[in-house]
């Protein structure tokens, strides 16, 4: 059976490693942190995984926190008016529930599971020269570490990357103590749009200390939300988050009136990056090849909440490609074909995400407004988070949007 090296212990790397392990492959995972260091470190993401991605985990028996994590049954959208009022407010229903599990909890647990099942874990930072050396002992090398020197091996695909600078400044807080939502009695991710300023996402999650909520600001660079650079104190980060909520989304701030606190000192994160699609195959100094995985090759802005979903779908696509390939050499053609298999779904996410980063055209504003009056439109928006390919049928083009609304309104 083939020997496979996976560099990176995130959603995609560990899901793929555990999947290959279950089929008898000799898999080594290289990571720069132990399970305990991951578990006790800083939050890494704002993951919300929808039905298809969750099913990939279930198929491998990796849904270890499904009974503990909140079941998210809807996706809601609110739009702030110039006076701070909420001029649009609706919730779309999902067909299958979504869930968010703090990646510190999940990745630490998965890494321990992989080791317990006999997988080899090497805790060591990896440079390009290291990877070149190690690659000579493996039949296939995959890079699933989305940051650092290794990513530079994968060149930017300009034809698929319309932005070359960050489009949002990101700030995350994991909190306990947020009050119940008065609008509905089921769990939902809420997206609050503040035109010309940015977005606030609020989502229920499971963290190392139990149920929590994630407060996630996406601010247009240079605008009033772009104020987290240089904030090192976690409590100051939270105070800034809440003050922005009071100013721009007072209906969400009301839920914090009873007092919220960070889940832990590592429960904040801030930064920014330019969304990018990279070439999937890297040439190592010695002439070998490495295949990029998930965020290494397709890194979208988190405005559409697709990062962990893309990672899960990429791992599933690569697992199927490897299993179907059998004992044949994992050459450059195989790597390109495996990526193309993943890109078949990821391209829809990239198109949708890049569209959401730009000021919305009139037909999209009409769709968002119509969703507040027509429940089928709200539901279709929500279901698109699980299947972004559906947006091709009704979201991007004014003619298709108009035809869709015309077909829904008579029924409603």
What is the residue-wise DSSP string for 194-216?
A: ETTTEEEEEEEEEETTEEEEEEE
**Residue where the block lists tokens 């996706």:** 75
The distance from CA 326 to its chain's CA centroid, rounded to whole angstroms, is 31
Q: How far apart are CA 372 and CA 367, in angstroms?
A: 9
Q: Which H or E element spans position 348?
A: helix 332-357
Reading the chain (412 residues) residue by residue, the pLDDT tens digits are 799 999 999 999 999 999 999 999 999 999 999 999 999 999 999 999 999 999 999 999 999 999 999 999 999 999 999 988 999 999 999 999 999 999 999 999 999 999 999 999 999 999 999 999 989 999 999 999 977 889 999 999 999 999 999 999 999 999 999 998 887 889 999 999 999 999 999 999 999 999 999 999 999 999 999 999 999 999 999 999 999 999 999 999 999 988 999 999 999 999 999 999 999 999 999 999 999 999 999 999 999 999 999 999 999 999 999 999 999 999 999 999 999 999 999 999 999 999 999 999 999 999 999 999 999 999 999 999 999 999 999 999 999 999 999 999 776 5
CA distances from 157 to 244, 297, 310 (A): 36, 9, 18
- d(CA 263, CA 252) in angstroms, rounded, equals 18
Long-range CB contact pairs, 23-26, < 8 A, 24+: 23/323, 25/1, 25/322, 26/1, 26/2
Dihedral in degrees, nearest 10, Cα atoms 314, 315, 321, 322: 150
Cα gap 377→246, rounded to integer Å: 30
pLDDT of residue 118: 97
Asked if residue 41 lies in contact with residue 135, where contact means CB atoms within 8 angstroms, the answer is no
Rounded to an integer, what distance in angstroms lies between the CA atom of residue 76 and that of residue 56? 25
Q: Give the pLDDT of residue 147.
A: 79
Kindly report the CATH class assigned to 3-63+102-163+275-356: alpha beta
- Region(s) of the chain under CATH 3.50.50.60: 3-63+102-163+275-356
Q: Which CATH number fits domain 72-100+168-271: 3.40.1010.20, 3.20.20.390, 3.90.1280.10, 3.30.9.40?
A: 3.30.9.40
Residue 293, both tokens = 């995985």
pLDDT at 1: 77
Would you list the DSSP string of 123-186? E----HHHHHHHHTT-SEEEE---SSGGGGGS-B-GGG---SS-S-EEEEEEEE-PPPPSS-SS
Rounded-to-integer distance, Cα 25 and Cα 18, Å: 10
Residue that the structure tokens 């929808």 belong to: 50
Please give the backbone phi and psi of residue 181, each rounded to the nearest 5 degrees, phi first.
-85, 125
Which residues have a Cβ under 8 Å from the Cβ of 202 and sit 6 or more positions away?
Answer: 178, 189, 190, 192, 213, 214, 215, 216, 252
The terminus-to-terminus CA distance of the chain in angstroms comes to 57
Alpha carbons 328 and 294: distance in angstroms, whole number: 23
Q: Which residue in this structure is represented by tokens 């993943």?
A: 342
In the numeric block, which tokens belong to residue 352? Answer: 């949708």
Model pLDDT, residue 317: 98
**Residue 89 has which token pair?**
């407010």
Predicted local confidence at residue 149, as pLDDT: 87
At 412 the pLDDT is: 59
C-alpha closest to that of 311 among 62, 28, 24, 97: 62
Residue with tokens 């739009």: 79
Q: Where in the chain is the domain with CATH 3.30.9.40?
A: 72-100+168-271
Question: Where does 293-363 show beta strands of DSSP type E?
Answer: 298-299
């Amino acid at each position: 059976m083939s020997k496979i090296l996976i560099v990176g212990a995130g959603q995609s790397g560990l899901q793929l490693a555990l999947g290959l392990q279950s089929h008898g492959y000799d898999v080594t995972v290289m990571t720069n942190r132990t399970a305990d260091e991951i578990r006790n470190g800083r939050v890494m993401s704002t993951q919300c995984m929808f039905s298809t991605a969750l099913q990939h985990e279930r198929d491998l028996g990796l849904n270890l926190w499904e009974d503990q994590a909140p079941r998210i049954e809807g996706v809601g959208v609110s739009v702030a008016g110039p006076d701070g009022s909420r001029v649009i407010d609706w919730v779309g229903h999902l067909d299958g529930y979504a869930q968010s599990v703090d990646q510190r909890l999940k990745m630490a647990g998965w890494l321990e599971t992989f080791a317990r099942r006999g997988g080899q874990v090497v805790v060591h930072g990896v440079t390009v020269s290291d990877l070149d050396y190690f690659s000579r002992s493996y039949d296939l090398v995959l890079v699933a570490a989305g940051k650092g020197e290794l990513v530079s091996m994968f060149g930017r695909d300009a034809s698929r990357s319309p932005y070359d600078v960050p489009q949002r400044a990101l700030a995350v807080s994991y909190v306990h103590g947020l009050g119940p939502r008065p609008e509905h009695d089921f769990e939902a991710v809420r997206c609050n749009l503040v035109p010309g300023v940015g977005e606030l996402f609020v989502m229920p999650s499971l963290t190392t200390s139990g149920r929590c909520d994630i407060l996630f600001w996406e601010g247009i660079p240079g605008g009033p939300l772009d104020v987290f650079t240089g904030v090192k104190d976690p409590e100051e980060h939270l105070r800034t988050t809440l003050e922005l909520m009071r100013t721009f989304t007072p209906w969400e701030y009301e839920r914090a009136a009873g007092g919220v606190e960070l889940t832990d000192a590592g429960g904040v994160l801030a930064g920014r990056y330019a969304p990018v699609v990279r070439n999937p195959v890297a040439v190592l100094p010695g002439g070998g090849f490495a295949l990029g995985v998930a965020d290494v090759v397709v890194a979208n802005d988190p405005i559409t909440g697709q990062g962990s979903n893309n990672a899960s779908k990429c791992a599933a696509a690569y697992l199927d490609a490897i299993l179907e390939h059998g004992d044949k050499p994992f050459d450059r053609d195989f790597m390109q074909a495996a990526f193309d298999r993943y890109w078949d779904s990821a391209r829809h996410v990239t198109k949708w995400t890049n569209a959401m980063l730009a000021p919305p055209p009139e037909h999209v504003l009409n769709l968002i407004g119509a969703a507040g009056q027509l429940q089928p439109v709200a539901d279709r928006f929500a279901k698109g988070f699980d299947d972004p390919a559906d947006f091709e049928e009704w979201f991007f083009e004014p003619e298709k949007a108009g035809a869709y609304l015309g077909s829904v309104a008579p029924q409603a």
